[in-house]
Amino acid sequence: MITLCGFGLSNYYNKVKLALLEKGIPFQEELCMTGSSDESVLSASPLGKVPFIRTEQGGLCESQAILDYLEAAYPAVPLLPQDPWQRAKVHELVTFVDLHLELVARELYAQAFFGGKVDETTQARVRKLLTKNIAGFKRLAKFSPYLAGEHFTQADCAAWVSLPLVAMASKIVLGEDLLVAGGIDWKPYVALVGQRPSAQKVTADRKADQERAAAAKKPG
């Protein structure tokens, strides 16, 4: 059986978990935090990032590589169109979400979510780049009702977990939800996907992890 390693507060962990649940693939979860120097982690995820999976064939990291493996190995419930062009268009959207939106907004997370500080120069650079990238994303994303069109795809696994973080981080640190400012009304989309049983399970597990983490921090 596949073992999904990581933790429920990680958006990339939840991207993979959502795909596993959508596709009805049996899996178990193993709690694993980032930055491990444990050989059993680094042999599967050499940079110590989560998520990664353990399979009978070995370990595999990078959420998109994992999604593509799952798609090829478990084709019964597809999260990619059959048509090569439409497939590539879904991958294009995933790249925009993961690389051009989330990875850029990630520079704000220290201040947005972890009590740190992001300097003014970085803030200005992130604002400029995110504004440009969001305008590009807007040209590609269909939201009709799913990101790539009529069907739920890998692009929704990526977007559903990351668009709220891009919005929140920019609102908290830069004073403006740059997705909304760029004309992307992400809330109804996130609510729509959030109604899916797979998404409800991911949300419930994430909240339980959040509560556990908060309880662990409390003195006494």
Ligand X SMILES: N[C@@H](CCC(=O)N[C@@H](CS)C(=O)NCC(=O)O)C(=O)O
Binding site for ligand X (CB under 6 A): 10-12, 34-35, 48-51, 62-64, 98
Considering beta carbons, is residue 111 or 182 the nearer one to ligand X? Answer: 111
H/E stretch holding 54:
strand 52-55
Query: Is 52 within 8 Å of 13 (Cβ atoms)?
Result: no
Shortest Cβ 175–ligand X spacing (Å)? 24
CA 172 to chain centre: 19
Q: Which two tokens stand for residue 162?
A: 């990351």
Shortest Cβ 13–ligand X spacing (Å)? 7
Considering beta carbons, is residue 108 or 182 the nearer one to ligand X? Answer: 108
List of residues 6+ apart from 133 with CB closer than 8 A: 96, 100, 101, 104
Shortest Cβ 64–ligand X spacing (Å)? 6
Shortest Cβ 14–ligand X spacing (Å)? 9
- Whole-Å CA distances, 70 to 16, 24, 104, 142, 146: 9, 11, 27, 25, 20
Shortest Cβ 49–ligand X spacing (Å)? 3
Considering beta carbons, is residue 15 or 182 the nearer one to ligand X? Answer: 15
Considering beta carbons, is residue 169 or 182 the nearer one to ligand X? Answer: 169
Instruction: State how far the Cα of 65 lies from the Cα of 62, in Å rounded to an integer.
Output: 5
Considering beta carbons, is residue 35 or 115 the nearer one to ligand X? Answer: 35
